[in-house]
Structure 1
């Protein structure tokens, strides 16, 4: 299974506020992404003296992670930018104010070649804690970091003494044998699905799959050196045979101002769920890996900020859950 060659690392950072920290609603991922980019560049950019706006050194670790660019001889159809080899997770936060002594967390999923640089990711989060984050520049302490494998087994790789142990990276193993054709997809954070150049607010499965297909295949090609060699046209046609049973989507408006360009950016999207029916067990087994890998890489626009966080449930008992499909 070619999808199984993809390499992932899931990190969770346990933090304790030293100062009062203000995190505007739905902008936790954006705030960490901005601070992370600035501090990663400060620590690891090899060409700071020439990098006024964008990094010019193609071998620089900062550029490869934060500003990857398409090779001149490669122009995949419709692809404008290479996806970054990481996303922020655990970006949903009920609290807007985190008081001194209170705990919170942030996660990072890393893909492909970038998993070997986990140490730089950890050191950068530690540096952010010293510099402060959010509008109040509140400082925090990095208590520990643990990695999780594909079965959610945890391993502490960093503690308050600064000890770093080898984390557990993993590939996707598909031992799934469906017993039902029905499944549920949940968007936990605002998700922007674009199809035929238009935003989709009530997605059928093929809308979601088309964006998963593009994102996963690009991550595989550019960051895992693997061409998935899938028959994408046949997959897309088959995804259109998946039936929508019911759904409940809500539009959430989110905007942020870029610290670099000062322009207002729209991060709005839908949250909620859709319940679908593959109609055949073979189709369920075929699409399952794409959906589960989507849980590791997110889907739609602004994924690196933690937008487009997707979860799934393949163990639906619709009668027991009293879901009205009428």
Structure 2
């Protein structure tokens, strides 16, 4: 088993529409962008800079830590050329949504490792997420509630409620060793948001288990070494991919979806595409259980911080 020391907090955020809100099928990038702008306004003390690079406060600023993480010299490796962000939105792919005034919008937010220490700023930014408007109509929303949840037991605590001044800064922390095992010899993955994995220089269309495992191992290892205890630094990353070859792909029922996303520059657009659907595997999943469970919460693949690459695990008969 890959040694992992990566605590994280899973939050459930509820907003209520103050006016009509029109959201695309995958609203993760909209929410992430609004959250990033709110966090920037709250935390940045040098707004005259065009980027965070070179800012003397980058390593302690809540915005710099989450949106422009600096790679430590000890981790100058190819797989960390673009450091993953420790704030991860959990938003499923669905239909276009038209919220009327008074209707609720609920989504998940995972805060990884050291980023949990920035929780006061993160909660303050969540208060501001919907105030500038979201979606095509720029409809405004207000924060209703933020809860810290344990997704496998149902335990939860309220961190923030509406305009209340009381704030709870003690979220439930989850760790790899505390996550439930993966049951049985059959496993079904329900891909809930677009999964974009690279294999052979292009997007993988066949999600064989070794492809999945390598992506999981890379993502979780990078997050753990940057924001956790770095227990996996120097570990053998070759053993699990070799074992993964013994897992059979029983059935794959997926489809390609895509959505245009506005870039950070005027006129810039990116086509976010990936696979949604179901993949079924058969084999011995015990060596991979911690990675599979962490991936279930942290997502994987391209645009994972927007909520892409989310899946649910289910025993397959």
1:253 matched to 2:251: no
Q: Spell out the pairing of 1:102-181 with structure 2 (5 A cutoff).
A: 102-149=103-150, 151-160=153-162, 161-165=164-168, 166-174=170-178, 180-181=184-185
Query: CA shift at 1:72, angstroms?
Result: 4.3
Query: Once structures 1 and 2 are overlaid, which stretch shifts more, 228-237 or 213-222?
Result: 228-237
Counterpart position of 1:239: 244
What SS does structure 2 have at the residue aligned with 1:163? coil
What SS does structure 2 have at the residue aligned with 1:15? strand
Query: CA shift at 1:296, angstroms?
Result: 1.4
TM-score of the aligned structures, taking structure 1 as reference length: 0.88
Q: Spell out the pairing of 1:74-89 with structure 2 (5 A cutoff).
A: 74-89=75-90
Q: Spell out the pairing of 1:148-297 with structure 2 (5 A cutoff).
A: 148-149=149-150, 151-160=153-162, 161-165=164-168, 166-174=170-178, 180-228=184-232, 229-260=234-265, 262-278=267-283, 283-297=284-298
Query: CA shift at 1:204, angstroms?
Result: 0.2
Query: CA shift at 1:178, angstroms?
Result: 6.0
Counterpart position of 2:36: 37
Judge conservation of contact 1:115–1:169 (CA < 8 Å) in 2.
no
Q: Which of 54, 57, 61 is the aligned partner of 1:56?
A: 54
Alpha-carbon distance in 2 for matches of 1:175, 1:109:
15
Query: Once structures 1 and 2 are overlaid, which stretch shifts more, 53-62 or 145-154?
Result: 53-62
Alpha-carbon distance in 1 for matches of 2:299, 2:12:
16
Alpha-carbon distance in 1 for matches of 2:313, 2:6:
20
- Over 3 Å counting, the alpha-carbon distance change for 1:8 and 1:96 in structure 2 is same
- Over 3 Å counting, the alpha-carbon distance change for 1:142 and 1:3 in structure 2 is farther
Counterpart position of 1:90: 91
Q: What is the RMSD of the two structures over their aligned residues, measured on CA atoms?
A: 2.0
Query: CA shift at 1:20, angstroms?
Result: 1.0
What SS does structure 2 have at the residue aligned with 1:78? helix
Give per-residue Cα distances to partners, 1:25-82, cap 9 Å, x unaligned.
Answer: 22x1010111111111111013212x22445322222111101132345322333111
Number of equivalent positions: 310
Alpha-carbon distance in 2 for matches of 1:217, 1:201:
24
Q: Which runs of 5+ in 2 are unaligned?
A: none
Q: Which runs of 5+ in 1 are unaligned?
A: 318-326
- Over 3 Å counting, the alpha-carbon distance change for 1:163 and 1:92 in structure 2 is farther
- Over 3 Å counting, the alpha-carbon distance change for 1:296 and 1:175 in structure 2 is closer
Query: CA shift at 1:18, angstroms?
Result: 0.2
TM-score of the aligned structures, taking structure 2 as reference length: 0.91
Query: CA shift at 1:91, angstroms?
Result: 4.1
Counterpart position of 1:323: none
* Structure possessing the higher relative contact order (Cα contacts under 8 Å, 6 or more residues apart): 2
Judge conservation of contact 2:195–2:300 (CA < 8 Å) in 1.
yes
Judge conservation of contact 1:21–1:97 (CA < 8 Å) in 2.
yes
Alpha-carbon distance in 1 for matches of 2:181, 2:103:
42
Alpha-carbon distance in 2 for matches of 1:176, 1:41:
36
